Amino acid sequence: MTDSKHDYYEVLGIPQSASADEIRTAYRKVAIQYHPDENPSDHNAEEKFKESAEAYKILFDTKN
């Protein structure tokens, strides 16, 4: 899906010093924006949705 050099903080639009709560909030915002149900014919939005889910999983796990 993404390469190992991908900046997950950038995907969610947050600083590297973001707390777990800030990560969660940013993920929800991005997920709603790019959700496939909201963008049914936009393949790029689907990819960004998947990318944001991956970023959330990685970053949230490391903050907890």
- What would the two tokens of residue 57 be? 């999983």
Q: Which long-range contacts (CB under 8 A, 24 or more apart) does 55-59 make?
A: 55/8, 55/9, 55/11, 55/12, 55/27, 56/12, 56/23, 56/24, 56/27, 56/31, 58/8, 59/8, 59/9, 59/12, 59/18, 59/23
pLDDT band per the 50, 70, 90 thresholds, residue 63: confident
Q: In this predicted structure, what is the pLDDT of residue 35?
A: 96
pLDDT per position as a tens digit, 24-53: 999 999 999 999 999 999 999 999 999 999
Residue 55 has pLDDT above 60, yes or no: yes
Please tell me the pTM assigned to this model: 0.83
What's the whole-number mean pLDDT along residues 9-31?
96
